[in-house]
């Protein structure tokens, strides 16, 4: 009986966690620029980037660069994401938080930052690469991702300050292949895709005048004057652009850090440009409705890996 008691006690103390050893060559975290370059390489190769396909070292490094915050999605299957439909949701989360606390050498209260009331996910604070590896081995984990790594805040040393980008924030359009656009008065470029959709032909009927377009996205870049003080440029006249809202530059509900209605050359700038960029005289692409008014309202999280993936 005494032996049985000792055996049971030993099992309850030993949670059966793997002893994880990180190779010496993998212990140094990647820089933010190295992470961004890896993401870019994947996209340029035509491969949809996911953190699931990234190495443990890369995920861990991005977590460190994102204020040491990670999002853990859990469930026994890929479809088990609804907390209300998962009978063991709280038990699964408890097991995983306990595992993280074990590898971090901290209490559960120190690592758990936020628990989503509707989805099978929670946010944690941790620092060790062993923790990432342990979570990725667990059958209860659907994904482990950096929660606050900010792709667009990483300086790109390979890009000139005013180079053109897909976001519409740059001014250098010389790298475009001449087969990809045509030029219309007063010196605006029409992308080849516009002709595919017969947009120039539709301008004979309407250029958007008298219509107001509302875009709920990440805001617009303050560095792009054609979506600001020069919104009325070239053949685009008599219209207005309004920028409302306060963009909270964090996924955390308690954050008060804001950057107003602006983004950093992100998705919102790109969408605003496609919708209503002026038919300009600067050799830059024209928008679909180049005489429409525009209201831009930030309303989604910029650079949040949770939504990107």
Main-chain phi, psi angles of 230, to 5 degrees: -110, 30
Mean pLDDT computed over every residue of the chain: 83
Span 178-301 CATH architecture: 3-Layer(aba) Sandwich (3.40)
Cis peptide before 66 (omega within 30 of 0): no
Instruction: Provide the percentage of residues in the chain whose pLDDT is more than 70.
Output: 77
Task: Please state whether 173 falls in left (phi above 0), alpha (psi between -120 and 50) or beta.
Answer: alpha
Contact 100, 111 (CB under 8 A): yes
pLDDT grade for 263, boundaries at 50, 70 and 90:
low
Q: How many Cα atoms sit within 13 Å of 261 on the Cβ side?
A: 15
Q: Which residue has the higher pLDDT, 42 or 297?
A: 42
Q: How far does CA 267 lie from the centroid of its chain?
A: 10
Distance CA 280, CA 139 (A): 55
The confidence score (pLDDT) of residue 51 equals: 95
Domain ranges for the chain: 16-153, 178-301
In terms of Cα–Cα distance, which of 236, 261, 29 is closest to 146? 29
Could you give the CA distance from residue 102 to residue 80 in angstroms, rounded to a whole number? 25
pLDDT of residue 250: 61
Task: Please determine, for residue 300, whether its predicted confidence score (pLDDT) is greater than 80.
Answer: no
Closest among 207, 224, 175, 172 to 288, alpha carbons compared: 207
| Residue 37 pLDDT level (bands cut at 50, 70, 90) | very high
Give this prediction's pTM. Answer: 0.52
Name the token pair of 239: 């219209």
- Alpha-carbon distance 103 to 15, whole Å? 12
Contacts of 266 (CB under 8 A, 6+ apart): 152, 167, 218, 219, 221, 302, 303
- State mean pLDDT over 72-86: 92
């Amino acid at each position: 009986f005494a032996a049985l008691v000792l055996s049971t006690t030993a099992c309850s103390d030993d949670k059966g966690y793997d002893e994880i050893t990180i190779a010496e060559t993998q212990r140094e975290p990647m820089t933010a620029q190295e992470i961004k370059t890896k993401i870019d390489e994947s996209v340029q190769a035509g491969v949809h980037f996911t953190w699931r396909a990234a190495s443990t070292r890369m995920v861990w490094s991005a977590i460190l660069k994102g204020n040491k915050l990670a999002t853990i999605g859990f469930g026994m299957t890929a479809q088990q994401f609804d907390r209300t439909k998962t009978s063991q949701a709280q038990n699964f989360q408890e097991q995983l938080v306990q595992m993280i606390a074990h590898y971090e050498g901290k209490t559960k209260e120190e690592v758990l930052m936020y628990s989503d009331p509707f989805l099978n996910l929670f946010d944690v604070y941790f620092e060790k690469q062993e923790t990432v590896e342990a979570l990725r081995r667990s059958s209860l984990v659907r994904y482990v991702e950096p929660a606050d790594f900010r792709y667009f805040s990483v300086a790109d040393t390979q890009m000139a300050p005013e180079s053109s980008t897909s976001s519409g924030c740059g001014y250098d359009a010389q790298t475009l292949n001449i087969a990809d656009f045509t030029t219309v008065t007063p010196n605006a470029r029409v992308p080849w895709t516009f002709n595919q959709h017969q947009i120039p032909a539709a301008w004979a009927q309407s250029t958007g005048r008298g219509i107001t377009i509302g875009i709920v996205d990440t805001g617009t870049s303050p560095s792009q004057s054609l979506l600001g003080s020069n919104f009325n440029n070239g053949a685009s006249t008599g219209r207005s652009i309004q920028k409302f809202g306060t963009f909270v530059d964090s996924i955390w509900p308690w954050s008060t850090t804001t950057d107003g209605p602006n983004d950093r050359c992100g998705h919102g700038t790109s969408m605003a440009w496609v919708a209503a960029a002026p038919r300009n005289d600067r050799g830059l692409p024209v928008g679909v409705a180049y005489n429409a008014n525009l209201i831009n309202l930030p309303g989604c999280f910029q650079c949040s890996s949770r939504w990107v993936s």
